[in-house]
Chain A
Amino acid sequence: MKSSLVGQVVILAALALLPAAGEAIYFRDKISWRSAIAPSEMVTVDQARGWGDTAIWVDARPEDEFANDHVPGAISLNEDRWNELLPQFLAVWAPGKKIIVYCSSLSCNASREVAHRLRKEAQLADVFVLEGGWEAWMKKNR
């Protein structure tokens, strides 16, 4: 009647799988398995390009990197000169536009921080972070 230790461990491990799987389904929109940003906030290069003219590209990298090269038509908006650059960005924004913020790569944090400020301070909707950043854009556009 008494199961072995291994048997008990296996039963408990299996029991825990059910609610865990349920939670994973419930939270699927709040967490991305690929990277540490909510999937509803992330967008791939292909998805973003599919939006065509309804998208505004925002470059969150430092000035010198933007000047070197950037997504055609992108607006520079970084936290170093936020107060100066924000009005320039707002001048080209219009309701209904989707905003795609990018920085250098998947590991860089600047795009998330700029996206967060656009949502929180300017209270803009449809703000997304480009998955893979400038690196991913370059791979698709070489």
Chain B
Amino acid sequence: MIMCLGARAELKWEQTTIELHPAANDKQAVGHFKYQNAGKTPVHFKSVHASCGCTTAQSQKEEVPPGDKGEITATFNIGDRTGTQIKTVTVETDEATNQKTVLTLKTEIPQQLEITPNFVFWKQGEKADTKTINVKVGKDFTVKHIKVTSSTPDFQAKVEEAGNGQFKIDVKPQDTNKVVASMLTIQPEDSQKVFYATARITNAPQVQ
């Protein structure tokens, strides 16, 4: 049993996990999984399949002769994702042992601002109290000030610096009589990037 498990695959991978650190404005993160055929017979790729639609993976070649090198390129489309994203690519070959290899792409997406909650609401008729949105600056960034504007005059937004890379946005509606919504635009000083939060007066839940 131990000898069986000790048998080595023909395809040797330089790395099966790649960690990527794209820049804040990057739209994609690309990982190159390099391999070499250390066996004596050609290896054929049966399938290369990613764990989600956001990641595409391509093999340079379908057949890898003995001794040849190649790579599988995995492209992760970041979209509006945040935080640590782990996506996998499963590679199936016609090797005698180890027919399936899982390649892992771990992407750390830098986030300049972390906004929680990004949605504040009041029920229609509720008291128009101030609600607070917390803004935390990402650890690799420095933001001294942020500017907040409301898309409608129905809501007022006031920024308070909480220190230590944190801000508070106090949001207050004029009144809660009408069902209205506003997009709050949050922009760090000296930055082109813009973040959003939503403020709304909602319908009161139906009493059943």
Contact = CB atoms under 8 A, between A and B. Distances in A.
Nearest to A110: B52
Most B C-beta atoms less than 10 A away, residue of A65, A93, A110, A124 = A93
Interface string B177-208: 00001010000000000001010101111100
Interface of A is mostly: loop
Given A108-B52, A121-B115, A123-B119, A80 B203 contact: no
Given A121-B116, A121-B117, A121-B118, A95 B205 contact: yes
Given A122-B119, A123-B116, A90 B79 contact: no
Nearest to A65: B53
A91 B181 contact: yes
Interface residues of A, number: 26
A123 B198 contact: no
B183 to A, nearest CB: 6
B52 A109 contact: yes
Contact of A122 (B77, B117, B183, B202): B117
B80 interface: yes
A87 B202 contact: no
A94 B122 CA distance: 10
Interface string B128-141: 00000000000000
B40 interface: no
Contacts of A121: 115-119
Contacts of B99: none
B202 A79 contact: no
Contact of B79 (A79, A96, A109, A122): A79
B53 A62 contact: yes
Interface in A88-142: 90-91, 93-96, 108-110, 120-124
Contact of B80 (A79, A90, A108): A79
Contact of A79 (B51, B54, B204): B54
B54 A80 contact: yes
A108 B54 CA distance: 12
A90 B54 contact: no
B205 A94 contact: yes
A120 B81 contact: no
Contacts of A78: 79
A27 interface: no
Interface of A: 61-62, 65, 78-84, 86-87, 90-91, 93-96, 108-110, 120-124
